[in-house]
Amino acid sequence: MQLERATFVSDAWSEHSMRSEVASANGYYLVAFEPEHPERIDGYAGLLAPQGAGEGDIQTIAVAPHARRRGLGRVLMLSLIGEARKRGAREVFLEVRADNPGAQSLYRELGFEEIGVRPRYYQPDGVDAIVMRLAVPTPETTTA
């Protein structure tokens, strides 16, 4: 919750919401930390993808300032996409703040495309959400 509140200052999830998400049978959450420092969370990410539903939703992702620009966000996202694929998702959706170009850039690099806008979605700031979709790629096996 400390990272949640620090990252999403004005629109952090409540502790109750976070507990519900993490405990959900349809959810999948990852927490990243250095093995030498398990008390210090570097990042986390969550997916909602009921088995066989055909789609998933990236619920949240956060990377602590000290761990940014090292590829952790990409690793977390790729892990969520892989889990969505295992659960039978053919598409994955997410919302990203319109004022977060760094996250938007990462999502585009991973193959997400913008499909819409939710005006004033993030409250109390009144910031638009850009809705993005990824057609989950089929895994490929190649020779090394």
d(Cα 54, Cα 13) in Å, to the nearest integer? 26
**Alpha carbon distance, N-terminus to C-terminus of the chain:** 41
Q: Which residues are catalytic?
A: 95, 107
Tokens of 70: 């090292």
Residues counted in the chain: 144
CA distances from 48 to 36, 53, 106 (A): 30, 10, 20
